[in-house]
Structure 1
Amino acid sequence: MPNVEAETLIDFCKAITAAAGASDDIAEIVSRSLVRTNLMGHDSHGVIRVKGYLNQARSGHLKPDARPQIERKFGATAIVDCQQGFGQVGARFGAELARDIGQEFGIGCVALSNVNHIGRLGEYAEIIAQAGLVGIIMTAGTFLQVSVTPYGGREPIFGTNPMAWAVPTDDAPFLLDFATAAVANGKVLVAVSKGEPFPEGMLLDRDGNPTTDPNTFYDGGMLLPFGTYKGSGLALMMEIVPTLLAGFAPVSSPEFRSGNPTLMLALNVEVFTDRDRFNRLTDELLQRVKRVPPAVGFDEVLLPGEKEAKSVAERSEKGIPLPDSVWQDLTTLASDYQVAVPERGVHV
């Protein structure tokens, strides 16, 4: 399992993506997004995705050089046509647009249509929160189609349907980013790539039996929703609100087409309340949560994002550990596109 320095991995993925037809700036956006996600410890949404994206490009479903365009704008709302390009490019454009509209009108709402997999949602909520606005991202669907069964069921009918919230603070934005499934699809992909069993209580095989074998997911298996009926209800709502407003159909519908229908909200704090008070009370609340005594078996109460911050520090110093299968996929793509495999910055 090689450890690869972040900048080396960015440059490598950028070269492969550019060779596949993306312009340099698009390749930069996609590669930095994926590697940043690896740095944070979310390998399921990192460079493991490059192979799948370029397979989509080869099939014509993803257009590497496509750029998003504003399809329609009305007041504080807009629809962005992402032109079937890289999802990260369309989502960044949409988040920046929602932020700008929110700064002007107090609230900005942007729907993304014709959009491919956008990666880690939190990245786009943070773009909004870094400007002092509350960012909310909701998405549904996937190019894997149905993958999650409703609570009490044994047939997949939902996507993993994640959402992210980011609020401004006096420091970095405070972020919450989670799938409404027990885990994201990509976590299964990581377990398969590592040859590891899956945790109990998250996965059913094609017959609806509990299993820890991640390979069953790709043989008609399905994920469970998180939090039983609550996660199931949220997943259902994601199949309606962002999906239909973005012009898609639910993932189980005969009208479904592959993509990541997304809705982005930006709320300008200063329109609703005093910004300094908002930041102060948020920071005080987070500090109170950290002071809660840990339960038996726990060393401390962790806030969302703390594990990610520790991972960024560690992987920035030691490099990003990549399963052999993921590194092999990247080097095979490099061969396909006649890109040199880096020698420096790769530690085996």
Structure 2
Amino acid sequence: MRIPTSTLHEALVDLLTSAGADVPRATAVADEITYAEACGIKSHGLPMLDAMLGRAMNDAEPTVKKNTGTITTVVGNGTLGPYAAKIAMDAAIGSARSHGLGMATLLNASTFLTTGYSPWRAANAGLIGFCTSAAAAKVAPYGSIDPIFGTNPLAMGFPTADGPIVVDMAITNLPAAEVREAAATGESLPAGVAITRDGQPTRDPSEALAGAMLTFGGYKGSALAFMIECLSGALITGAKYGIHDADRGMLFLAIDPSTFGDGEALAERIAEVASNIANSRPTIAGESPRAPGVQARNNWERAQSFGVEVSESFASRLGIA
């Protein structure tokens, strides 16, 4: 069934508060799930609800350990990831407003949802946003069969004259959430996504979860994973890096484009690049090329007018008739 995004958001807040979350935490989670559903990132939307409900009663307040004016370090104290991420990104945005550049690190928050939501918030404020995370070891580096990297998602958000564009991706051929979903539904994985514990190619999601996922682009994806592992893992004291099992680290960045010139001009130039791509010659006749992130933005805009599709089972859980 199709429902307005406002209805989905309100129902999520009600469900999370009834499970023990206070309104600020419930709202932060509802914001992210609604964003994911509206953008068409279904694997990081409602299917993540149970993970959020499982931590709903943790009302620990994140602690700001250090604030230099441009750099803020935040410890989540195990609270809901979307709430802690909001605090960290708010700090980065505030610093960017004051100093042109703001960075925040986050440690020890529970599961968060989409990496792209925080950069999207920055882009909506006219800033350039960046977020990345060194996640639990599930991914084998190029040439190895042992899981060492996390799926290590990264995202950047850019303000444009036509609305924010967010490039959001993991360094694997398939998001981990989709592998877990395939394991739950009994579906097979595409080829080239994962290997078994012994290093053999597999399309069985259960074997993939016990073995390792693979990076996209061979050694290039592996190199990108390594950089993220260093930037949002090794850089942050106490965060997970490599096979060192510890709390997940996240890094947030906000840049005020007006520091480098005219911010509105930047938004127009980025929109022009996206237009250049859209007007370029397609590889397949009749299929217009598009810039990364444009489809998600189109989905978001369409959802504001026509709502989002929610399964009957989720609608029932949310109390939506």
TM-score (norm 1): 0.83
Shift of 1:4: 5.9
Paired position in structure 2 for 1:39: 38
Amino acid at match of 2:67: K
Instruction: Tell me if 1:158 matches 2:152.
Output: no
Residue 104 (structure 1) aligned to one of 90, 98, 105: 98
Cα displacement string for residues 269-296 of structure 1 (whole angstroms, at most 9, x for unaligned residues):
1111222332232222211111111103
Contact kept, 8 Å, 2:189 with 2:204, in 1: the verdict is yes
Contact kept, 8 Å, 1:68 with 1:82, in 2: the verdict is yes
Amino acid at match of 1:246: I
Contact kept, 8 Å, 2:137 with 2:149, in 1: the verdict is yes
Alpha-carbon separation, structure 2, partners of 1:292 and 1:240: 37
Q: Secondary structure at the match of 1:248?
A: coil
Between 1:2-11 and 1:265-274, the stretch displaced more is 2-11
Alpha-carbon separation, structure 2, partners of 1:120 and 1:162: 9
Change in Cα spacing, 1:197 to 1:297, as seen in structure 2 (3 Å) is: farther
Shift of 1:127: 1.5
Shift of 1:310: 4.3
- Structure 1: gaps (5+ residues): 332-340
Contact kept, 8 Å, 1:203 with 1:212, in 2: the verdict is yes
Instruction: Give the 5 Å matches for 1:38-187.
Output: 38-55=37-54, 57=55, 64-141=58-135, 145-187=136-178
Cα displacement string for residues 60-116 of structure 1 (whole angstroms, at most 9, x for unaligned residues):
xx7632332322111311111222111111111111110110111111111112222
Alpha-carbon separation, structure 1, partners of 2:268 and 2:131: 24
Alpha-carbon separation, structure 2, partners of 1:292 and 1:316: 29
Alpha-carbon separation, structure 2, partners of 1:198 and 1:240: 29
Contact kept, 8 Å, 1:111 with 1:246, in 2: the verdict is yes
Alpha-carbon separation, structure 2, partners of 1:293 and 1:70: 50
Paired position in structure 1 for 2:215: 225
Cα displacement string for residues 166-209 of structure 1 (whole angstroms, at most 9, x for unaligned residues):
11222312211111122221121232344432221112122222
Shift of 1:8: 4.3
**RMSD between aligned residues:** 2.5
Instruction: Tell me if 1:342 matches 2:319.
Output: yes
Instruction: Give the 5 Å matches for 1:234-249.
Output: 234-249=224-239
Q: Secondary structure at the match of 2:139?
A: coil
Instruction: Tell me if 1:308 matches 2:285.
Output: no
Q: Secondary structure at the match of 1:223?
A: strand
Paired position in structure 2 for 1:25: 24
Alpha-carbon separation, structure 2, partners of 1:236 and 1:101: 28
TM-score (norm 2): 0.90
Alpha-carbon separation, structure 2, partners of 1:322 and 1:315: 18
Change in Cα spacing, 1:192 to 1:17, as seen in structure 2 (3 Å) is: same
Instruction: Tell me if 1:267 matches 2:251.
Output: no
Alpha-carbon separation, structure 2, partners of 1:67 and 1:152: 42
Cα displacement string for residues 22-60 of structure 1 (whole angstroms, at most 9, x for unaligned residues):
1022112212311321222212211211222334x3xxx
Contact kept, 8 Å, 2:278 with 2:289, in 1: the verdict is yes
Paired position in structure 1 for 2:280: 292
